[in-house]
Structure 1
Amino acid sequence: MNAPAPIGTREKTQRYFRRLTRYYLWFTACFGLFLAALAILEKEGMPRQWIGHLYMFATIILYATIGVVSRTSNVSEYYVAGRRVPALFNGMATAADWISAASFISLAGTLYLHGFDALAYVMGWTGGYCLVALLIAPYLRRFAQYTIPDFLAARYGGGSGNRGTAVRALAVAATIVVSFTYVVAQIYAVGLIASRFTGVDFSVGIFLGLASILVCSFLGGMRAITWTQVAQYIIILIAFLIPTMWLSVKFAGNPVPQVAYGSVLPKLAQREAQLARDPREQAVRARFQARADADAARLAQLPHSWETGKVEAQHRLDAARAGNASLGEIRNAERALLSYPRTADEAARTWTEQRAANLARAQPPEPHAEPFPGKTREESDIRRNNFLALVFCLMFGTAALPHILMRAYTTPSVHETRVSVFWALFFILLIYLTMPALAVLAKYDIYTAVVGTDYASLPTWVSYWANVDKANPLISIVDINGDGVVQLAEIAIDGDVLTLATPEIGGLPYVISGLVAAGGLAAALSTADGLLLAISNALSHDIYFKIVDPGASTQKRVTISKLLLLAVAFIAAYVASQKPADILSLVGAAFSLAGSTLFPALVAGVFWKRANHAGALAGMAAGFLVCLYYMLHTNPILGGSLDGAWFHIAPISAGVFGVPAGMAVLVAVSLLTAPPPRASAGLVEHIRAPE
C-alpha cells in the first residue's frame, strides 16, 4: 500500500488547488464580462466581422499569455507538467484535449444528417474513455515515465537494449502516424473557423491558429498546455450550452436540453411523416431521380458521352459570345467549360459522385429516431453492422490515443489519476449528452421554420452561410420545381455548418455566433496542442534521448523537443492547407490506426505476463498493416473501391479488422516464442500491485 501523504504535503496540495480554483473562477467571470461587452457593442452597431476578429484575437492572445506565463525548461514540467495537476483540473484538461474539432463542429451535424446511426460516435468515444479508465490510465501512472513508447519499451524490452529499442521505435512510428493524421484534422478545422468568421484566407487562418498552438506548446510544453486546456474547456462548455439551452427553451419550455428534447422527438417524427407524403416533396424527389438516371446514362456511354458533352459545352460558350448574351450568361458558360471533366476517367468519378448525391436527395427523409432504417432486411443489417463496427473502432482507438494517455502521467498519484478519469468522463458527457439534443432541436427548427417558407421570406442566416464559401456552399436552397416554396428535398446542408449556425437558426444575436466559433477554435487548438506535444516528445525523448544521445542534458532534451515541435507543426499546417479530406474521415482513420497498432500491445502489456517482445512487434505490425490495407483497398479517396469491402464494412471502421488481427498475432507469436525475461514479469507485477 502507498503511504499516506505527509500532512504538510496535503496542506500544500490543498492550497495549490484553492489557488487554481480562484484563478479559473476569475477567468470565467472576466470571460462573462467580455461577452457582455461584445453584446453591448453589437447592439450599438459594431459590424459582424469586427466581432469575429475580436473573438479570435482575444482568445489567441489569452492562450499565448498562458503559454508565456507557464514557460519552462524543466524536463518534468515540460513533459508531464511536474506531475502535480489536481484531478479536477486534469479532468477538465483531458476533456478539452478529447473534445476535438470533430466533436464540436462535426458531430452535431452528423447526428442531424444521419439520425440514430450517428449515435455510434457518441457511444464509441464515451465508451472508449471507460476503457481508458479501467484498462490503461492508472497503470501508466504507476509506471511514472513520460511517453507511451517508454512504457512499451520497458515492458517488452525485458532488460535487453536492442529489444527495447525495436519496440520503442515501432511505438514511436505508430504515435507519429496516428497523431499526425489527427492533428491535420484539427489544424484544418482551425483554418475553417478562422476563414469563416474573420474573412481571412483559409491558409492564413491556419497559420494564425498555428501561432497560438506554438506559443503554448513551444514555451511551456505540457505545463502550458494543461492550464490553457482548462481555460479552453470553460469556453467550449459555455459556447456549446448557451445556444442549445436557448433552443430547448424555445421548443420545449425547458432549459435542460438533455431532458427536453425527448418531448420534441415525437413532433419531429410527425413532421417527417408529413414531408414524406407531401406531393410537392415527391415531385422534387422525382426530379432528382431523373437527374440520377441521366447521370447513369452518361456513365454507361463513356467515353463517347464525355467527348460529346465537352463539344456541347464549347458550343454553348461560342453561341453565348456570338449572340451578344449578357455578361453573366457568358461567365456561366465559361465556368461550365472550365469545370467540365478533363478526362474520361475524371468524368467517371465526377458523374458517379453526382449520381450518388442525386439518388440520396431523391429518397424521402429517414425517421431521425429509427435505428438502422432500410428498404430491405439486408440493407438494415448492413447499417447495423457498420454502426457496431464504428462503435468498436472508436472505443478501442480512444483507449490507445497517445495524447490522451499521456495525461495519465501528469497527476500526483495513481489515486488522483483514477479520480481525474472520472472528472474527465463527467466533463465530456456534459457536451456529448447535449449533442443529440442540439441535432433534434435544430432539425425541428429547420423542418418547421424553413421548409414551407416562401423563397422571398427565407431567414437571413441562410443567405449568409450560403455565401461564406461560394466554391463549396455550406448550405444550398434551390427552387427545383419552381413553385416559390422551399421543400425539404431542395435543401442541401453541410453537417459542419450546423453547430456554427445554431445561434442564428435559433434567432440569437451574432455575438453568440462568435462565441460558438470561439468554442470550436478552442476545441481544435486544445486537441492540436496535445497531439503536437505527443509527436515531439516521442521524437525527442524516445528517439533522440533514449536511442541517439542518452547523455544529453535536460536543457538540450527540451530544446530538441521544441525544435521538433516547430517542424512537425509546420508540416501538419502545410498538409492541412491542401484540404485532404473532411474532418470526420481524418479522425476516423486516426482512431482505427491507433486501436489496431497500439491497443493490443498496451493491454497485453498490463494484464498478460506471457506477452513478449516478438509478440508485441508482430502484433503492432500486423494490426497496422491490416488496417492500412483495408483503408487503401476500400476508400475511394485513397484510390480504393467500396466494391471490395469485407462484409460491407465502411473504410472508416477498418480497425474492426486491425484490432483482432493485432491481438491474435500478438498472442500467437508470444506463445510460439520464448517467454519474456523476469524483468518484464516484474514490471507487470509492479504496475498492477495494490495501491
Structure 2
Amino acid sequence: MDIQIWTYIIVGLTFALYIGIAIISRAGSTNEFYVAGGGVSPLANGMATAADWMSAASFISMAGLISFMGYDGAVYLMGWTGGYVLLALLLAPYLRKFGKFTVPDFIGDRYYSETARFVAVICAIFVSFTYVAGQMRGVGVVFSRFLEVDVNVGVLIGMVIVFFYAVLGGMKGITYTQVAQYCVLIFAFMVPAIFISILMTGNPIPQLGFGGTLSDGTYLLDKLDGLHEELGFASYTIAKKSVTDIFFITAALMVGTAGLPHVIVRFFTVPSVKDARISGGYALILIAILYTTAPAISAFARTNLIGTVSNKNYADMPEWFGKWEQTGLIKFDDKNGDGKIQYVGDPVKNELDIDRDIIVLANPEIAKLPNWVIALVAAGGLAAALSTAAGLLLVISTSVAHDFVKKQLRPDITDKQELLIARISAGGAVVVAGYFGINPPGFVAQVVAFAFGLAAASFFPAIVQGIFTKRANKEGAISGMIVGLLFTAFYIIYFKFVSPELNTRENWWFGISPEGIGTLGMLINFAVSYVVSMFTPKPPEEIAVMVDGIRHPN
C-alpha cells in the first residue's frame, strides 16, 4: 500500500480511539471538566503530562532545529528538559497542596485580589494562544503532506478533532486521550529512530548510534562536520550563538516551562501531593525517552538529507522531494540553470530552501523506510500537536469560565451554567487557535519559544514568590506581571514583526535574542514586584498562614 492509504488507516484509527475515549470519559461536572475529578492515577497522569508537555515543537520541530542549528539547537533540549525538572520539584507539589483548579485561582487567592486574578487570566490566555498557534501549524504541516491537502485545510481538520474531545470531555476526556496519544507519539518517534540507527551505524539504540561510526569507519558527527564545512555551512558541533544568549534562551525555556499553565494544571488531577510528586517522576522518565533520542534523529536526518540533495540532479530527486515541494515547505530555485541542486551555506548561491519543521516527518522517507513507518510518524506528529492543543484550549476555557465569569462577573451561577460557559469558551478558543494556525507568526518551535518567554516573564515570579515569600503582596505581583509581560511582548514583537531587519546581535539589548528575552523579563518582574511590595502594605495575616499551609505538610 502507498503512504497515503497507510496514513488514512493509521491516522483514522488513532482519531477513532481519541474520540471514543472522549465519549466514554465525558465530563459531567465542572470538577471533572477542570481537573478530571482529581482521581487520576500517578502513572496515567505521568503519561498525560508527558503528552501534554511534548507538543508539536518537541515531536516535529525540535529535532529539525537541532538538525539545522547543530550545537546551538541544544538550548531547546536543555531548556525544556531542565524546565520540567524545575516544575516537578519546585512548584507542582506546592500548587497541588493549594488544591484549586487553575494558576489564576492560586494567584487570585494568594494575592487576595480580583485584579491580580484578572491579570493572571489575561496572561494565561495570551501565553496559551501564542503556544497553541504552534500546535495548529504542526497539525497543518502533517496533513498537508500525508493527506495531500492544503495546509489550511489540515488546520481545519485538526480544529474539528480537538473541538470534539476537548469541548465534550474536558480535562477528564483529555487526560485519558493524552495517555493514548503518548503511546502513539513515543512509538512513532522511536520506531524510525531505531530503524535508521541500525541502517547507519549498526546500533539499535539511537542514543548510542548518535556517537557511533558509519559503515566507512568514520564517526557520525565527524562526517557531519565535514559535510557542513565542505558545503560552506557552519560546523555542526560548534556554537555560533554567544554564551550570554545561550544562557538567556535556556533559562527562558526552563522557567517558562515551570510557568506554563496547561502543564501546572495536570498536577491538580491526582488525589494527593504524594501522587503529584510520583506522577512528576513518571513524566520525566517518559519525556526523557523522546528527548534523549532527538539529537540522534537530528544528526541522522541531516546526514541523509545532505547526501540525498547536495549537487544532485533535480530531475532525479526521489518521490518524497516532489511531495514536500507541493506543500511549499521545500523550494528549489535553479539560479545557475544547470539543473543541479546547489545546497550550500552561501545564501546568494544556495538554491534550496527547506522548512526545518519537516525534518522529523520527512526523515523516514529520506531513509527509505517502509510506508507504514512513514504513516506512523504522521500519526505521532498529530498526537503530539493535538494533545498539547487540547490542554491549552482547556486552560483558556477554564480561565474564562471559572476565573473570570464565576469568580468575578457572576459568582452565583450554577455548576451546570459554569460547565456550559466553559464548553462555549473552549469552542471559541478552537476557532481563534485555528486562525493562528492558518496565519502563524513563525515556525513551530519559534512560536513555542516565544510562549515560554512570555510565561517566564509573567507567571513564574508571581508563583515562586507566592509560595516562598510571605512579604509578596498584591500590588507587587500585579505590577511585576504587567511590566514583565509587556516588556517581553514588546521586545519580541518589535524585533520579529515590526523591524525584522534589525533582528541582529548588534541591535539586541545586551546581546539577548527575542527567544531569550523572557529571562530578562522575568528578572524585571522579580525586581518590580519586590520593590513595589516593600513600599506597600504587608499582606493580611491569613495570607501568611496560607503560605505556611502550602509549604508545610499537614
Structure 1 residue 457 displacement after superposition: 4.4
Measure how far apart 1:63 and its partner are. Answer: 1.2
Measured after TM superposition, the shift of residue 486 of structure 1 is 6.2
State the AA in 1 paired with 2:76: Y
Aligned to 2:430: 569
Paired residues of 2:252 and 2:456 also in contact (CA < 8 A) = yes
- Per-residue deviation, 1:383: 2.6
2:235 is aligned to 367
CA distance change for structure 1 residues 450 and 75 in 2, over 3 Å: closer, same or farther?
A: same
Q: How far has the Cα of 1:275 moved from its partner?
A: 4.4
1:476 deviation in Å? 3.4
Query: Does 2:385 match 1:519?
Result: no
Query: In structure 2, how many angstroms separate the alpha carbons of the residues matched to 1:582 and 1:684?
Result: 41
2:405 to 527, 534, 544: 544
Match of 1:57 in 2: 12
Check if 1:415 corresponds to 2:274.
yes
CA separation of 1:583/1:368 partners in 2, compared to 1, >3 Å: closer, same or farther?
same
- Give 1:66's aligned residue: 21
Distance, in Å, in 2 between the alignment partners of 1:171 and 1:86 is 29
Q: Deviations along 1:364-385, whole A, 9 cap, x unmatched? A: 1222122x24xxxxxxxx5322
User: Contact 1:96–1:527 at 8 Å: present in 2 too?
Assistant: yes
Q: Equivalent residue for 2:358?
A: 497
User: Which position in structure 2 is the counterpart of 1:439?
Assistant: 298
What does residue range 194-343 of structure 1 map to in structure 2 within 5 Å? Answer: 194-264=143-213, 267-272=219-224, 274-275=226-227
Amino acid at match of 1:182: Y
What is the aligned partner in structure 2 of residue 653 from structure 1?
A: 516
Q: Compare 643-652 and 110-119 and name the one that shifted more.
A: 643-652
Higher mean displacement: 631-640 or 73-82: 631-640
Q: Which residue of the partner structure matches residue 454 of structure 2?
A: 593
Q: Deviations over 1:20-59 (max 9, x none)?
A: xxxxxxxxxxxxxxxxxxxxxx2xxxx4333333333332
Work out whether residues 462 and 475 of structure 1, in 8 Å CA contact, stay in contact via their aligned partners in 2. Answer: no
1:673 to 536, 547, 553: 536
Q: Paired residue for 1:304?
A: none
Counterpart AA for 2:445:
L
TM superposition shift of 1:611: 0.7
State the secondary structure of the residue aligned to 1:690: coil
Contact 1:269 1:367 in 2 (8 A): no
CA distance in 2, matches of 1:486, 1:386: 31
1:137 and 2:92 are equivalent in the alignment: yes
- State the Cα distance separating 1:461 from its structure 2 match: 2.5
More displaced stretch, 612-621 vs 482-491: 482-491
Residue number in structure 1 paired with 2:76: 121
Which amino acid is 1:107 matched to?
M
User: What's the secondary structure of 2:136's corresponding residue?
Assistant: helix
- Which residue number corresponds to residue 60 of structure 2? 105
Offset at residue 449 of structure 1 (A): 4.8
Task: Describe the SS at the equivalent of 1:418.
Answer: helix
Q: 2 CA distance for matches of 1:532 and 1:436? A: 30
- Structure 1 counterpart of 2:109, one-letter code: A
Q: Distance in 1 between matches of 2:265 and 2:371?
A: 38
Is 1:386–2:386 an aligned residue pair? Answer: no
Q: Structure 1, residues 537-567: CA drift from partner, whole Å, max 9, x if none?
A: 0110011111111121111111110011111
- Verify the 8 A CA contact 1:125 1:398 in the aligned structure 2: yes
Q: Which amino acid aligns with 2:483?
A: A
- Are the aligned partners of 1:264 and 1:440 in contact in 2 as well (CA < 8 Å)? no
Once the two structures are TM-superposed, the CA of residue 632 in structure 1 deviates from its matched residue by 2.9
Q: Does 1:482 align with 2:338?
A: yes
For residue 638 of structure 1, report the CA deviation from its aligned partner. Answer: 6.5
Q: 1:206, CA displacement in angstroms?
A: 1.5
Identity %: 39
What is the alpha-carbon distance in structure 1 between the residues aligned to residue 447 and residue 341 of structure 2? 38
RMSD over aligned Cα atoms = 2.1
1:401 paired residue number: 260
Q: How does 1:466-481 map to 2 (within 5 A)?
A: 466=325, 468-469=326-327, 472-474=328-330, 476=332, 478=334, 480=336
1:505 & 1:244 partners in 2: Cα distance? 13
Residue from 472, 475, 481 that aligns with 1:614: 475
- Cα deviation, residue 520, structure 1: 0.5
The corresponding residue for 2:42 is: 87
Moved more, 632-641 or 112-121: 632-641
- 2:485 alignment counterpart: 624
Native 8 Å contact 1:479 1:485 kept in 2: no
Partners of 1:240 and 1:546 in 2: how far apart? Answer: 42
With the length of structure 1 as denominator, give the TM-score of the two structures: 0.75
TM-fit CA distance, 1:639: 6.2
Q: How far did 1:131 drift?
A: 1.0
The answer (yes or no) to whether the contact 2:103–2:261 under 8 Å persists in 1 is yes
CA shift, 1:239, in A, is 0.5
Contact 2:40-2:271 within 8 A present in 1 as well:
yes
Q: Deviations over 1:58-96 (max 9, x none)?
A: 322221111111112212111101111111110110110
The equivalent residue for 1:377 is none
Q: How many residues align?
A: 544
Q: Is the 8 A contact 2:311 2:340 kept in 1?
A: no
Which secondary structure state, in structure 1, belongs to the residue aligned with residue 27 of structure 2?
coil
CA distance in 1, matches of 2:115, 2:315: 67
The answer to whether the 8 A contact 1:68-1:215 is kept is no
Tell me which residue corresponds to 1:684.
547
Deviations 1:354-405 (A, max 9, x none): xxxxxxxxxx1222122x24xxxxxxxx532221111011001100000000
In structure 2, the partner of 1:178 is 127
For the Cα contact (< 8 Å) 1:275–1:488, is it kept in 2?
no
Q: TM-score, with normalisation over the residues of structure 2?
A: 0.93
Residue in 2 aligned with 1:37? none
1:416 CA drift (Å): 0.4
**Structure 1 counterpart of 2:539, which letter?**
P
Deviating more after overlay: 527-536 vs 625-634: 625-634
List gaps (5 residues or longer) in structure 2: 346-350
After superposition, residues 551-562 of structure 1 pair within 5 angstroms as: 551-562=412-423
Aligned-partner residue type, residue 655 of structure 1: G
Question: CA shift at 1:483, angstroms?
Answer: 8.3
Q: Is the 8 A contact 2:136 2:436 kept in 1?
A: no
